[in-house]
Amino acid sequence: MLEIKDLRKRFGGLKAVWDCSLRVEKGSITGLIGPNGAGKTTLFNLITGFYKPDSGEIIFKGESIHGMLPHNIFKKGIFRTFQITREFNKLTVLENLMIVQHPQTGENIWNTWFLFHKVKKEEMVIRKKALEVLEFVELIDHRKEYAGALSGGQKKLLELAKSMMAEPEMVLLDEPGAGVNPTLMNKLIEKIRALSKEKGMTFFLIEHDMDLVMNLCNPVIVMSEGRKLTEGSPDYIRSHEGVLEAYLGGQYGIDPQ
């Protein structure tokens, strides 16, 4: 579904992503792990058009999306969430979801003046969908609150809700589990699985919580120093020597005996 070929991005002297090549298969829940500074979030930013790659290719559904603007990449069917959640603080939870729907007749100012009834009708449909999604992530009771007033874990659920609202073909989740308590975490895993199974959404997620990764993802891709180190099933990754080495630095990777 998503293919990255020899992607490079350098910030000054820092080679953030260097000759990175990997694939994400359709319908999979692919995990992306690696030590801090491995280039995982940079890779997400490159895929979603926040940064322009220096060289290399990004192919989504057989089409190059290299160098496109973020809002056009969204239209191609890729949705991303951020490591630190980025909801619209002074919009209510419901509005945070309703805005995701695309396209909307009412987003043209002429239509709000001259096609008011059509806009209103559409708004009712969008609202119904948003309420269903909120029901699913169990945030329905908070729908009238400012999104900024939600707890950290609830904000993570809201991000997931937004990805459901968008109904993209592929979701990039940047640390969905960070700062989420274990109960909520299990709920999150369950929701992601359900979405993958029922709606056939493809997930590509960065995560540091190994329980979550090993539990949810298959395959798991390991990144280190800007490129793919290895890839495989959770069991394979767990027993792979190079992974531990990448995480902990050389000396721990060598068998002490």
Partner 1 sequence: MIDLQGLLSYFTHFAIMAGIYSIFCLGLNIHWGYTGLFNIGIAGFFCIGAYTSALITIPPPTGVYANYVTQVFALNLPFPFGVLGAALVCGIIAFLIGIPTLRLREDYLAIATIGIAETIRLIFHNESWIANGVRGISGIPQPLSSLVDPRNYNFIYLGIVILIMITVYILIERGIRSPWGRVLRAIREDEESASMLGKNIFAFKMQSLIFGAIVMGIGGALFAHYNKSIAPDTFTPLYGTFIIWVMLIVGGSGNSKGAILGGFVIYGLWVLPEFITRYLPVALQSRAPYIRFLIIGIVLELILRYRPRGLMGEEKHVSRLLK
Q: What is the 3-state secondary structure (H, E, C) of 202-227?
A: EEEEECCCHHHHHHHCECEEEEECCE
Question: Residue 171's beta-bridge partner residues?
Answer: 79, 203
Shortest Cβ distance from residue 38 to partner 1 (Å)? 22
Shortest Cβ distance from residue 209 to partner 1 (Å)? 23
Residues that bind partner 1 (CB under 8 A): 48, 50, 69-72, 74-75, 79-80, 82, 86-92, 94-95, 98-100, 102-109, 111-113, 116, 119-120, 123-124, 127, 144, 146, 162, 166
Q: Which is nearer to partner 1, 111 or 218 (CB)?
A: 111
Shortest Cβ distance from residue 161 to partner 1 (Å)? 13
* Residue 51 near residue 9 (C-beta atoms within 8 A): yes
Q: Which is nearer to partner 1, 132 or 211 (CB)?
A: 132
Question: Residue 9's beta-bridge partner residues?
Answer: 17
Q: Which is nearer to partner 1, 106 or 232 (CB)?
A: 106
Q: For 182-200, b where at least 16 C-beta lie within 10 A, e where not — what string? A: eebbebbbebbeebbeeee
Q: Which is nearer to partner 1, 124 or 194 (CB)?
A: 124
CA atoms within 13 Å, Cβ hemisphere of 147: 23
The C-alpha atoms of residue 251 and residue 233 are separated, in whole angstroms, by 25
The C-alpha atoms of residue 180 and residue 177 are separated, in whole angstroms, by 5
Shortest Cβ distance from residue 158 to partner 1 (Å)? 12
Q: Which is nearer to partner 1, 156 or 228 (CB)?
A: 156
Shortest Cβ distance from residue 204 to partner 1 (Å)? 15
The C-alpha atoms of residue 110 and residue 182 are separated, in whole angstroms, by 48
Distance of CA 256 to the CA centre of its chain: 38
Shortest Cβ distance from residue 177 to partner 1 (Å)? 20
Helix (H, G, I), strand (E, B) or coil at 5: strand
Q: Which is nearer to partner 1, 84 or 254 (CB)?
A: 84
